[in-house]
Amino acid sequence: MDLVKPHRAVLAAIAIGAALATGCSKEAAAPQRPAPEVTIVTVQPKTIPFVSNFVAQTESSRQVEIVARVSGFLDKIAYQEGDLVKEGQLLFQLDPKPFQTQLEAARGELQAQQARFKTAEATLARVRPLTEQDALSQADLDRAQGEHDAAKAAVFSAQAKVRQAELDLGYATIRSPVTGLASRAIQREGAFVNSLSSSAQLTYVAAVDPIWVTFSVSQNLAAKQRDEVDRKVIIPPKNQDYEVDIALPDGKRYPYTGKINFADPSFSQDTGSFMVRAVLPNPKKELRPGMFVTAFVKGAVRPGAIVVPQLAVQQGSNGHLVYVVNASGAAEVRPVVVGDYQGESDIIVLKGLREGDRVVVDGVLRVVPGQPVKIVEAGAAGTAKAGADKKQ
């Protein structure tokens, strides 16, 4: 009995089955995936504005406390609380009658002293020639001279009392020293105002045109920017002539720009920062003291900056990265260090990119590191993807 033939038949059947399976798998293999379409930007260093932004607060450029200089009863509040008042406008009127009485009394005393002085002057004029003729003694002349000088001094004193009474009467009428917004009246009509107590505080007037905008610069930020200036990464404006514009709380840009007019020479021991103040025009009174705004400090430039769209930058486990198309057309991962945002859609890359690099912007999510990509014009990649999704 031949036992070899059955084994040969089994092997032949296995071989035929394997061949059929191999043929079927080749026919069922999926077609190779095409290279994803992407759009790119080519890195070109350029000089861009360097803008710092800070949380800031508006402040009156001249806030004056209105305080009574004399005591008396408040007769009248002559302004509309919270409204704009003009320089010299009447705000409060104290009862003027007591001060008018004091002025009349002072004027009466002045007239009396002037009459006394005239008498003393006439007496001296008579005594002097008589003394020269030895008709009167030297003591008589000295007495007449003394009375003359005392009467003259009394006139000066009476004149000073008149001026003081005139000042007191003038202080009873309280006018605004500046043009600005007047706050509420602290004292009401009929109240007694004591110039030597807290009741002397009547209100305040805050000038709002121009208006100040103040913000704080931290010690760390100041040191960082000073280092960047030393390394020529940032070039400040000539004569430190920075411009400041602001954004209102709703994001709307204020139409007027201003200048920095003061920087505190020392750091605060409480916050570790120093205060910077800018002055801006406010002709329409849109800005009121105490508003929180965003201040943008302009004037410096950043030369040789590398700027790419924000869409190109991805967040990885070890930091930020971008995809760069190399010379062979394949995508490679490039770690980068990013800086500030530039405008609404770009970002500054501080490290990781150089001139001529081709950075993937659109189609980043379809890129496979090390695999080739197809570069298309801006917008084409998104159109192609939409068409493929529609077919599916």
- The model's pLDDT over 248-289, given as tens digits with 9 standing for 90+, comes to 989 899 999 999 999 999 999 889 999 999 999 999 999 999
- Band of the pLDDT at 384, cuts 50, 70, 90? very low
User: End of a domain among 171, 198, 216?
Assistant: 171
Residue 373 per-residue DSSP state? -
Report whether pLDDT(182) > 70: yes
297 burial level (CB within 10 Å; 0-12, 13-18, 19+): buried
pLDDT of residue 31: 60
312 is a domain residue: yes
The reply to whether 151 and 215 lie within a common domain is: no
Report whether pLDDT(9) > 50: no
Calculated CA dihedral for residues 262, 266, 267, 270, nearest 10 degrees = -110
pLDDT of residue 134: 85
In this prediction, residues 365-383 reach a mean pLDDT of 79
What is the β-pairing status of strands 37-42 and 358-362? antiparallel
Q: Which domain holds residue 200?
A: 67-94+174-206
19 is a domain residue: no
The reply to whether 120 and 196 lie within a common domain is: no
What is the β-pairing status of strands 374-375 and 37-42? parallel
10 is a domain residue: no
Query: Which residues, in sequence order, are bridge partners of residue 38?
Result: 375
User: End of a domain among 301, 316, 338?
Assistant: 301
Report whether pLDDT(30) > 80: no
User: Three-state SS for 23?
Assistant: helix
- Band of the pLDDT at 306, cuts 50, 70, 90? very high
25 is a domain residue: no
pLDDT of residue 1: 41
- Higher-pLDDT residue of 19 and 238 is 238
Q: What amino acid occupies position 344?
A: E
Residue spans of beta strands (DSSP E) within the chain:
37-42, 46-67, 72-77, 84-85, 90-94, 173-175, 180-182, 192-193, 201-218, 243-247, 258-263, 273-280, 292-309, 314-316, 319-325, 331-342, 346-351, 358-362, 374-375
Residue 330 per-residue DSSP state? B
The reply to whether 293 and 212 lie within a common domain is: yes
